[in-house]
Amino acid sequence: MNLLTRPSLKRLFATLLLAAVVAVMTGAPGGFGVPADTGVHGSFLEHVSYFGLFRTQRWAIFLTLGILAWLIVSFYQPRALSIRKRVAPVTAFPSRLMERRSHRLILIAVVVVLTLFIPHLEHQQFWMYLIVEQIGVWILLAQGLNVVVGFAGLLDLGFAAFYAIGAYSTAWLTGVLPTPAPFHHPIPTLWCIPIGVGLAMIFGIILGIPTLRLRGDYLAIVTLGFALIIDDFVGTQSGLTGGGEGSLTVPKFDLNLGFWHYRWGISPTPYFYLCMLFVVIFIIVFTSLEYSRIGRSWVAIREDEVAAESIGINPLKYKVMAFAVGAASGGFGGVLTAGLIGNINPTLFQYQVSVNVLILVIFGGMGSIWGVAIGAIIVQTATSYLDNYQPWGYQLNDLYMYIGALLIIMMIFRPAGILPSRRRLREIRGFEVEHEGHLDEVLSGDQP
């Protein structure tokens, strides 16, 4: 074992670079003009002067840690293979657990029961609210996008549009937009659920027919383009959509059965049950779709469109179908959000919303319904926690830096997600297992 070989030194350099990046990432925020005295601040340019780069001790700490990490890696390098072999069963454990049907059923039962008890376990209204708004709704969104990206293999960067359509149609139907409600007769918010979902699906079809002839990254860009157009359009049309401010007075849900009248108030708990009901419905529908004729056609198109077409599958029809089905749960998420937070505005359309949903799908495992659900829970809980409590070196505003890093790392080390779909897993086992990226490839670059 020689520390001074070329690959080893390369690794040292890369580790130090990584340590520097982490130091900057966890450092203090900076900016021009914000601090009292003029000059440039921030962990990258600490202490005003450009040459203060290595002056503070934070840097020394991170460099030391970098060297330590390098030494450890170097000493264990010869044994890396055996370590990886020992780690592999652990990382594969969750997906192995889900392979047996009985295990799956037990797990589902436990999850459902636990879910019913969440409102009794969590007493902070604020966290209940986050569980609905940040986790429940986002599970739905992720499930919808999973149909589009995971099942049918269509990268849609404008998915937020369906979410926003759901929310805006709620505002429209309840008569709180400048555009009058249909027939000038506002309807109760609860009835917006079927209509909003329907409108989102119709919009999915309208958007899908012209765009879905394209493939791959071209499709991604077109959907992005449409999303930007809609975002701008909604923002400018004050007379139709309320412009940038949207509407601030969407009414709450209200169930009137004559003998029993229930109002959803400002407490998030009733929304939680409503949301969970639909999460269960959508998961059941999507699971049965996955193994139906339609689901198999999606897989065929995803894997090889030309081959699929040659055996009589109409790709455009099934792709549009995937868009519409995905739009349904996105639309429902929108209706629920509008009712829960009581207002809508064009930020719901933002490109970032689409990418955030995509992250949940990728993190959980494209095409895997349970993986996506679990991915959504993990990522959304983590981001909610980070944003509200700012632990360690985390500052407000930093979220997307970590999300960006997470995306790259996932693509390199675990492209199939934390809980890959079983169908995908079989494919990956077949082809890709030797090609899974590992740290060395990233660090030392050029080696074969």
Partner 1 sequence: MGFAHFWFSGFDQIRSGFWAYVAVGLENGSLYAMIAVGYTLVYGVLGLINFAHGEVFMCGGFAAVLITHAILGSGVEDGWASVGLVLIGIVFAGCISALVATGVERVAYRPLRRRHAPKLAYLISAIGASYFLQTLAGKEFGYGQNVFPAEVFPAGQTLFSIGNTPIHTIQVVCLVVGVSMFLSADRIVRSTRLGRSIRAVSQDAETSALMGVNIDRTITLTFIIGGTLAGAAGFLYSIQNGIIQSSGTELGIYAFTAAVLGGIGNLRGAALGGLLIGLFGSFSVPFAFEGNISWTEIYTFLILVLVLIIRPTGILGEKSGRTA
Partner 2 sequence: MKLRWNKSVALAAVGAMALTGVPLAAGIGTSSAASKPSYTIGVQGPFTGSDSDYGDYEYAGVEFAVSQANASGKYAFTLKTEKFDDQGSSTVAPGAAQKAVGTKGLVAIVGPSFSGASQVSYQYYHAAHIAEVSPSATAVALASGTDSSFFRTVADDSVQGSADASYLVTTKSEKNITVIGDESFYGTGLANVVATQAAKLGATVTTKSIANINEGGGGNAGAYSTLATELAQANPAAIFYGGYAPEFGELLGDLASDGYTTSNHVIMSGDGSNDPALMTSTSPATAANGAFLSESATGKVSYFTGKMASEFTKLTHTKASVAIYAAQSYDAANAIIKALVADKKTSSISTLRKETVASLHKVSFVGVTGPISFQPDGDLKVDKGAVQISSVINGVITIQTNVG
Closest C-alpha to 319, from 141, 155, 138: 155
3-state SS assignment for residue 448: coil
Taking Cα atoms as reference points, which of 350, 344, 379, 354 lies closest to residue 364?
Answer: 379
Rounded Cα–Cα distance for residues 146 and 139 (Å): 10
Write down the least CB distance from residue 411 to partner 1, Å: 4
Rounded Cα gap, residues 169 and 337, in angstroms: 12
Q: Is 78 in the site for partner 1 (CB under 8 A)?
A: no
Secondary structure of residue 37 in the 3-state scheme: coil
Q: Which amino acid is at 230?
A: I
Q: Residue 377: what residue type?
A: I
Which of the residues 97 through 136 are near partner 2 (CB under 8 A)? 124-126, 129-130, 133-134
DSSP category for residue 343: -
Q: Which range in 59-67, 174-182, 209-217, 300-308 contacts partner 2 by CB under 8 A?
A: 59-67
Whole-angstrom distance, CA of residue 400 vs CA of residue 404: 6
Q: For partner 2, which residue of 246, 251, 315, 367 counts as binding (CB under 8 A)?
A: 246
Residue 280 interacts with partner 2 (CB under 8 A): yes or no = no
Distance (Å, rounded) from C-alpha 390 to C-alpha 102? Answer: 40
Q: For tokens 């077949």, name the residue.
A: 430
Minimum distance from residue 252 beta carbon to partner 2 (Å): 10
Closest CA to 143 of 328, 319, 297, 352: 328
Q: Does 235 bind partner 1 (CB under 8 A)?
A: yes
Residues numbered 415 to 444 that lie near partner 2 (CB under 8 A) are none
**Helical H segments across 146-215, by residue range:** 160-173, 192-211
Q: Report if residue 415 touches partner 1, rule: CB under 8 A.
A: yes
**Is residue 239 within the footprint of partner 2 (CB under 8 A)?**
no
Q: How many CB atoms lie within 10 A of CB 134?
A: 17
Residues 110-149 within binding reach of partner 1 (CB under 8 A): 149
User: Using the rule CB under 8 A, is 26 a contact of partner 2?
Assistant: yes
* Part in contact with partner 1 (CB under 8 A); list of ranges 126-134, 252-260, 375-383, 437-445: 437-445
Q: Which of 285, 260, 270, 257 is nearest to 336 (CA)?
A: 270
22 scored as a contact of partner 2 (CB under 8 A): yes
> Which of the residues 15 through 34 are near partner 1 (CB under 8 A)?
24-25, 29-34
Is 245 a residue that touches partner 2 (CB under 8 A)? yes
Candidates 54, 75, 126, 218: give the one binding partner 1 (CB under 8 A).
218
Tell me the C-alpha distance between 318 and 394, whole Å.
44
Contact status: 69 vs partner 1 (CB under 8 A): no
Q: Is residue 388 near partner 2 by the rule CB under 8 A?
A: yes
381 contact choice in partner 2, partner 1, none (CB below 5 to 8 Å, kind-dependent): none
4 secondary structure, DSSP code: T
Secondary structure class of 324 (helix, strand, coil): helix
Q: Which of residues 292-351 bind partner 2 (CB under 8 A)?
A: 337, 340-345, 347-348
| Burial of 67 (C-beta count, 10 Å sphere; 0-12/13-18/19+) | middle
Q: How far is CA 152 from the centre of its chain?
A: 17
Q: How far is the CB of 384 from partner 2 (least distance, A)?
A: 9
Name the minimum Å distance from CB 360 to partner 2.
18
Measured from the CB atom, the residue of 202 and 412 that comes closer to partner 1 is 412
Shortest distance in whole angstroms from residue 392 CB to partner 2? 4
Taking CB under 8 A as the binding criterion, the range among 4-12, 114-122, 240-248, 312-320 that sits at the site for partner 2 is 240-248
Tell which positions 171-210 bind partner 1, by CB under 8 A. 210
* Stretch 36-55 residues interacting with partner 1 (CB under 8 A): 40, 42-45, 50
* Spatial distance between the Cα atoms of 43 and 23, rounded to a whole number of angstroms: 8
- Residues lying near partner 1 in the complex (CB under 8 A): 24-25, 29-34, 40, 42-45, 50, 149, 153, 155, 210-211, 213-218, 220-222, 224-226, 228-229, 232-233, 235-236, 355, 358, 362, 395, 397-401, 403-408, 410-412, 415, 432, 435-437, 441-442, 445-446
